[in-house]
Amino acid sequence: MIRAFAIALLLLFAGSASAQTVRFPSVAVGSSAAGPEISGWMYKPSGAGPFAAIVLAHTCGGVGPHTDVWGKLLASWGYVVVAPDSFGPRGEKSVCGRGNVVNGNMRVADVAGAIDFLNAQPFMRKGEIGLIGHSHGGWTTVRAVQKSYGLASRGLKAAVAYYPSCQQRFDRDVAVPLLILIGDQDDWTRAEDCRKLQAGGFTQPSLVDVVYYPNAYHSFDSRSPDRTITVADGKQHRLAYDPSAAPDAEARTKAFFAKYLR
């Protein structure tokens, strides 16, 4: 089954954009201080453009195969994609189970740097930029859309957060349309926390749509074999692909960006 899936991925992305390495500064915004120079992967659709773009925020595992799958998928939809490596320049490979070593607030500066980098490219439609992140990157995404960081004024138009950490204290003041996709069975980033955030009240609830998948666990979009992992803090979490949630979430993501990135 795993071999068949690998072949399917090769067929899906045959001839698709391959990543090139780019570098740009991390930029201080709001309470997020500038970090080190950031390296990242950039995926570009065929053609001259101009293109809208999406910043892709990686998981707690850092840039890797999951990043590459999503980078190629988003590029196949016609977007330039930049995936900043928030961990390598800070001396980390993975922060799973110790997410505050490089936290969501710190990574917003990297997102700002990626947005500024994209806006300077000649093949870009300046100011037409989306953001998507998964797990730790989803946490980064929910944090980055807060008004206090001012990323809307830099051109951020919309964001999608897959199974993020929702924190009622920090995440209520959303500035751009936000789509949250999370599984009710997630035992790592809990859907209950997103429900509490909703109940606590977004300052502009019309900007936020949260989709809960009843049977989905963490990492429901990743077609890796179902497994239980033990992370650095000793806790165990189940990761499982969900054949119903994954395509629905992907379709919602595609339609969402098509609506807001014109």
Domain containing residue 234: CATH number = 3.40.50.1820
Q: How far apart are CA 153 and CA 155, in angstroms?
A: 5
Q: How far apart are CA 183 and CA 248, in angstroms?
A: 12
Please indicate, yes or no, if residue 7 is contained in any of the structural domains. Answer: no
Please indicate, yes or no, if residue 212 is contained in any of the structural domains. Answer: yes
Strands 51-57 and 20-24: unpaired
Please indicate, yes or no, if residue 94 is contained in any of the structural domains. Answer: yes
Please indicate, yes or no, if residue 6 is contained in any of the structural domains. Answer: no
| Residue (of 144, 142, 146, 185) closest to 162 by Cα position | 142
As for how many domains the chain has, the answer is 1
Please indicate, yes or no, if residue 29 is contained in any of the structural domains. Answer: yes
Please indicate, yes or no, if residue 156 is contained in any of the structural domains. Answer: yes
Please indicate, yes or no, if residue 202 is contained in any of the structural domains. Answer: yes
Residue 177: domain span: 16-260
pTM for this structure?
Answer: 0.92
Q: Are residues 84 and 38 in contact, defined by beta-carbon separation less than 8 angstroms?
A: yes
Strands 227-230 and 208-213: unpaired
Please indicate, yes or no, if residue 245 is contained in any of the structural domains. Answer: yes
Question: Angle 15-155-134 (CA atoms, 0-180°, nearest 5)?
Answer: 55
pLDDT string in tens for the chain (262-residue length): 333 333 344 444 444 578 999 999 999 999 999 999 999 999 999 998 999 999 999 999 999 999 999 999 999 999 999 999 999 999 999 999 887 889 999 999 999 999 999 999 999 999 999 999 999 999 999 999 999 999 999 999 999 999 999 987 888 999 999 999 999 999 999 999 999 999 988 999 999 999 999 999 999 999 888 888 888 788 899 999 999 999 999 999 999 999 999 7
